[in-house]
Amino acid sequence: MIFRTLGLLLLVITTASAEVVYLENTTRIPVPGRGPESIALDSMGFIYSGLSNGSIIRITPSSYEVEVIAHSKGVPLGIEFNSNGKLFVADANLGLLAVEKKGVRVLTNQSEGEKFRLTDDLAISKTGTIFFTDASNKYNVKQVMMEFRDQKPRGRLLAYSNAGSTFTLKDNLSFANGVALSPDETFLLICETKSREISRLWLSGPNQGKLEKVTEINGYPDNITIDSSGNYWVSVIHPNRNSELVGFRLSSDLEVMNEVRLPEGERIRGATSLLHKEGLIYIGSNVEKFITVAGIPKRWQ
Q: What is the chain's Cα-based Rg?
A: 17
Closest CA to 88 of 129, 35, 138: 129
What per-residue string of b and e applies to 182-210 under the rule 16 or more CB within 10 Å gives b?
A: beeeebbbbbbbbbbbbbbbbbeeeeeee
- Residues 93-98, mean pLDDT to the nearest whole number: 98
Q: Is there a contact between 56 and 39 (Cβ–Cβ < 8 Å)?
A: no
State yes or no: pLDDT of 17 exceeds 90: no
State yes or no: pLDDT of 5 exceeds 60: no
Closest CA to 179 of 198, 195, 161: 198
Q: Which residues contact 280 (CB under 8 A, 6 or more apart)?
A: 293, 294, 295, 296
Question: What is the per-residue pLDDT for 165?
Answer: 97
Question: What is the per-residue pLDDT for 283?
Answer: 98
Largest CA distance in the chain: 51
Beta bridge partners of 97: 89, 106
Name the average pLDDT for the chain: 91
Question: What is the per-residue pLDDT for 239?
Answer: 59
What pTM did the predictor assign?
Answer: 0.93
Question: Rounded to an integer, what distance in angstroms lies between the CA atom of residue 126 and that of residue 61?
Answer: 26
- Residues 54-71, mean pLDDT to the nearest whole number: 97
Question: What is the per-residue pLDDT for 36?
Answer: 98
Share of residues in the chain with pLDDT > 90 (%): 81
Where residue 100 falls among pLDDT bands split at 50, 70, 90? very high
pLDDT digits (tens, 9 = 90+) for 103-121: 999 999 999 999 999 999 9
Question: Rounded to an integer, what distance in angstroms lies between the CA atom of residue 81 and that of residue 102?
Answer: 17
More confident residue, 24 or 297: 24
Cα–Cα distance list, 111 to 74, 129, 193 (Å): 19, 15, 22
State yes or no: pLDDT of 176 exceeds 50: yes
State yes or no: pLDDT of 3 exceeds 60: no
Where residue 218 falls among pLDDT bands split at 50, 70, 90? confident
State yes or no: pLDDT of 186 exceeds 70: yes
Question: What is the per-residue pLDDT for 148?
Answer: 81
State yes or no: pLDDT of 13 exceeds 70: no
State yes or no: pLDDT of 51 exceeds 90: yes
pLDDT digits (tens, 9 = 90+) for 249-275: 999 999 999 999 999 989 998 899 999
Share of residues in the chain with pLDDT > 70 (%): 92
Domain 19-300: which topology? Neuraminidase (2.120.10)
Question: Rounded to an integer, what distance in angstroms lies between the CA atom of residue 238 and that of residue 77?
Answer: 19
Question: Rounded to an integer, what distance in angstroms lies between the CA atom of residue 135 and that of residue 130?
Answer: 16
Residue 116 three-state SS = coil
Q: Is there a contact between 56 and 72 (Cβ–Cβ < 8 Å)?
A: yes
Angle among Cα 53, 56, 62 to the nearest 5 degrees reads: 125
**Sequence ranges of the domains in the chain:** 19-300
Write out the DSSP string of 158-207: EEE-TTS-EEEEEEEESSEEEEEE-TTSSEEEEEETTTTEEEEEE-SSTT
